[in-house]
Amino acid sequence: MRQVVLDTETTGLETERGHRIVEIGAVELVDRRLSGRRFHKYVNPQRDIDEGAQEVHGISSEFLEDKPRIGEIWSEFLEFIDGAELIIHNAPFDIGFLNAEILHVSAAGIETPQNIEEICQVTDSLALARHKHPGQKNSLDALCRRYMVDNSQRQLHGALLDAEILADVFLLMTGGQTQLFGSADAQDKAAEAQTDQQNLQVVDGFGLPVIYANAQELQAHEDFIALLAEKSGATPIWRKLGPQATSSNAEE
């Protein structure tokens, strides 16, 4: 299964007013694992950027002056996403802009499908989040907090960074495991685990000091067990073991 997590940044919010894409970022998932392949391009939109949009992503018209136009990167982009399931947060927005760019690409005489949906299945992660967490905030930042995904570098919106963060969120939200690193790192972790196990085996347990609970600590433990029983309305497992098991543990 091949999926591409994608995000765009734009000159403004409405394609109807001629706003265009200024950045595309995407990362590839294969069998729900990050493959390491990514697509990232800045694009010269050939128009001004709204002040509000620039405050969001920090990309200026001056920065984009020497960047390629959409037609120059379109074939490479289509090759990257072709046949994949696109994962996009608020997909109608990004797909709307990508499909609007097709008009400019076609006008330049570049071969392209009529819309992105012809070559890709599209999944809206925002719609998934709203279904899974109804009545809650489901912005990317809110989902990062909910799933404990580190977004500390997200001071400004950036297409590639947001795609990488969304990949982590999407995998967690849909019940999968993220693998942020490649197989080499996995092998390193396995080797470290084996080393740790070997180190544990050479520890001389008989030479370690044993510190027994004193009377005050034992009483505190009993008081805590009584509190558990009161709050839960059930008999704690320690009580079920009986006083003989407790006393034998204290005497060892």
Whether residues 156 and 221 share a domain: the answer is no
Mean pLDDT (the chain) is: 85
Whether residues 160 and 238 share a domain: the answer is no
The per-residue pLDDT for range 147-184, each reduced to its tens digit, is: 999 988 877 789 999 999 999 999 999 984 444 444 33
Place of tokens 């990257």: 80
31 in any annotated domain:
yes
Q: Residues with catalytic annotation?
A: 157
> Can you tell me the distance from the alpha carbon of 1 to that of 171, in angstroms, rounded to the nearest whole number?
13
Q: Residue 189 pLDDT > 50, yes or no? A: no
Percent of the chain with pLDDT over 90: 65
The residue ranking higher by pLDDT, 120 or 209, is 120
> Can you tell me the distance from the alpha carbon of 178 to that of 133, in angstroms, rounded to the nearest whole number?
20
The per-residue pLDDT for range 25-78, each reduced to its tens digit, is: 999 999 999 999 999 999 999 999 999 999 999 999 999 999 999 999 999 999
Q: Cα 102–116–14 angle (5° rounding)?
A: 60
Q: Residue 241 pLDDT > 80, yes or no? A: no
pLDDT value of residue 194: 55
In 3D, which of 23, 134, 119, 16 has the Cα closest to residue 70? 23
Contact yes or no for 147/172 (Cβ under 8 A): yes
Residues 6+ apart with CB under 8 A from 68: 41, 43, 44
3-state SS assignment for residue 225? helix
Whether residues 41 and 122 share a domain: the answer is yes
Quote the domain boundaries for residue 69. 2-181
85 in any annotated domain:
yes
- Phi, psi (rounded to 5 degrees) for 24: -125, 130
> Can you tell me the distance from the alpha carbon of 217 to that of 209, in angstroms, rounded to the nearest whole number?
18
Whether residues 217 and 164 share a domain: the answer is no
Place of tokens 């200026």: 60
pLDDT value of residue 122: 98
Contact yes or no for 122/91 (Cβ under 8 A): yes
189 in any annotated domain:
no
Whether residues 228 and 158 share a domain: the answer is no
115 in any annotated domain:
yes
The mean pLDDT value for 183-204 works out to: 50
